[in-house]
Every structure is written in structure tokens, then in C-alpha cells.
Structure 1
Amino acid sequence: DSEVTFLIEGAVVKPIITMPTSATIRQLKKKIEEYTDIPISRQILSHDNTKLIDDFIINHYNFGPIPGIQLEVETDPNQMDVNITVTSPVFKVRLKVNQMESVMQLKQKIGDMWGIETKDITLWHLCRRMQDDHLLHMYYINEGSDVEFTRTGFP
């Protein structure tokens, strides 16, 4: 059974996923869910402006080498406010955030809790350093997400 490696685009985090060509698009979505925690029901996948159908096998589509798959996440207005866990080497805390907040707004919440300047806070999610001007949803932050916190600039 041959395989195809996909670059999943659509946000700052761009997973690379390899699947057998005999797998279905739904199975690809399951792999994406395992990586991003985005439920299958909220994922819309497309390639070259064509929406991919869940029940079709990957081989149905004429993908080239390492095709870019566009992941669009359907928003759930009832789940814009989510609980996340922020962890560091010395603490772990649950915070409520809105997915439309910026990374800087999250850094400000953390800084206010512990008296740390935002310039000394670095946040990471899915092994990516989070940029201040990006919105949390661009990193697939959703209910139960874990964000890592590192502190710089202290004595």
C-alpha cells in the first residue's frame, strides 16, 4: 500500500501527516484531530479549491508529492470561551480564554497573575513559539489545550 505525506495548512501550526492512499479522508481527519485536538466534525479539508469528501479514499484524489491540504475549522459560537492549561517547570494553572484573544492578551493574564512582565514570557503550543500578534485560534487553541510557558529575563 503506497503512502502520501500531507502538509496541513490553515494556521500557524502546520502538521505533516503521512497516510496510506487506501485510507479515507475521515481517517486523515482523525489523524489531524489527534495532533490538533480539533474535532472531526469541525474540520473542513480542501485541496486546490476542492472540498475533500469524508468517505472518499485518498487515492480518489490526484495528489502530487507532499500536497498542501487546507484545514478550515468551523467556529462554534458556543465554544469560543475555552479552558486551557498553562504549564511551566514550576507551576500549572487552568485559565479561561477566548479563542479570538491574542497571544499577547494571554501573556498579560499570566503576567498579571504572577507579576511578570509580558516581555519576559514566551508561550509555546504544539512545539511552536506563539507570536504576540496572532490570535489563539491560529494555534488551534481549544477546550483542554496545553500551552507551555517559559520565562526569560529574570535574575
Structure 2
Amino acid sequence: MATVQFRITGGEVTPEITMPISATILDLKERIQLFTGIVMTRQTLRFNNQELTNDRTISHYGFGQFVTLVLDVKPLNDQFPKFYILAKYGNEQSKMIKVKETTLVGDLRSKIERQFGIPGRLISLYRLSHEMNDDFPLSAYYVCAGCEVEVVINTESR
């Protein structure tokens, strides 16, 4: 069975996913959903500025063995822009925190500082094993409703 390795770009996290060439683009989006938590209906995949169609197979596009695709995520509509995420600190504590996709990581750090009572300069935040940068919005790390952000406490200030 032939496979294609996809590198998915578009945010600060770059998933790498291997799929059989007989799979559909919808199957690939399902795998991306499992990895990032972003529902398939919010995903648009592009290759060389061409939108990929859900019902087409990977073999239809004639990709090589290694392909980089761009993932565009449709923003949440204005009616429901806020959602809860789980800020998890080891096995000891976790808190639900209300955010927007446009919330900056630095603002999330401030919320966590207030919730946990830990100085923000000691906090590092991770999503999908990637350290989050204060200057980026949460959407850059595929932060979505119900997802987890790992809180790591550093012994030395950042």
C-alpha cells in the first residue's frame, strides 16, 4: 500500500501525518482533527494555492511521497467566539479557562497566573508539545474548545 507523508503548515504547530493514497481528503481532515482538535468543517486544505476537495482521494492529486499542505482554519462565528480550555499543571491541578481564539498567549499566561497564583514569569505554556510564544494568538497553536494547554512551572524566571 502506497502512502504519502503530509506536513501540515498554517500555525506554529506543524503536524506530520502519513496517509494511504487511497484515503480521501476528508479522511486526512479527520486525522488532522484527531491531532489538533479543530473540527473538519472548519478546515480548508490547500496545495499550491489550490483548495483540496473532500471527496477526492489523495492519489487524485498525484502528490509525491512527501507533501506540504497549508491548513486554513475558519474562525468561529461572532455568536460563539468564547470557549473553555483546560489549563493543566502536572497531575496536580487543572482549571477551565474561558478564552477566544484571538486571545494572545501572553494574556492566557496572565489568566493562568491569577487562577493558579503562580508568577507569570515562571510559567511556560505548551500545546501539542510546542512551547507557546506570548506574541501569538491561541489560534496559531490550534487552541480550540475543550483542548488542553500544559502549564509548566520553571524554577528560574523566563
For normalisation by structure 1, the TM-score amounts to: 0.95
* 5+ residue gaps, structure 2: none
Q: Residues 1-155 of structure 1: matches in 2 within 5 Å?
A: 1-77=1-77, 78-89=79-90, 90-153=92-155
- Number of aligned pairs? 154
- In structure 1, what residue type is equivalent to 2:36? T
Distance apart, 1:64 and its partner CA: 2.5
Distance apart, 1:153 and its partner CA: 2.9
2: CA distance, partners of 1:15 / 1:41: 18
* 5+ residue gaps, structure 1: none
1: CA distance, partners of 2:132 / 2:120: 13
2: CA distance, partners of 1:95 / 1:17: 30
Please tell me whether the aligned partners of residues 80 and 100 of structure 1 are also in contact (alpha carbons under 8 angstroms): no
Distance apart, 1:68 and its partner CA: 0.6
Distance apart, 1:118 and its partner CA: 1.5
2: CA distance, partners of 1:136 / 1:40: 18
Distance of aligned partners of 1:143 and 1:132 in 2 relative to their CA distance in 1, 3 Å threshold: same
Distance apart, 1:66 and its partner CA: 1.5
CA deviations over 1:69-88 (Å, ceiling 9, x no partner): 10000112234211000111
Q: Percent identity?
A: 34
For normalisation by structure 2, the TM-score amounts to: 0.93
- In structure 1, what residue type is equivalent to 2:144? N
Which 4+ stretches in 1 moved above 4 angstroms? Answer: none
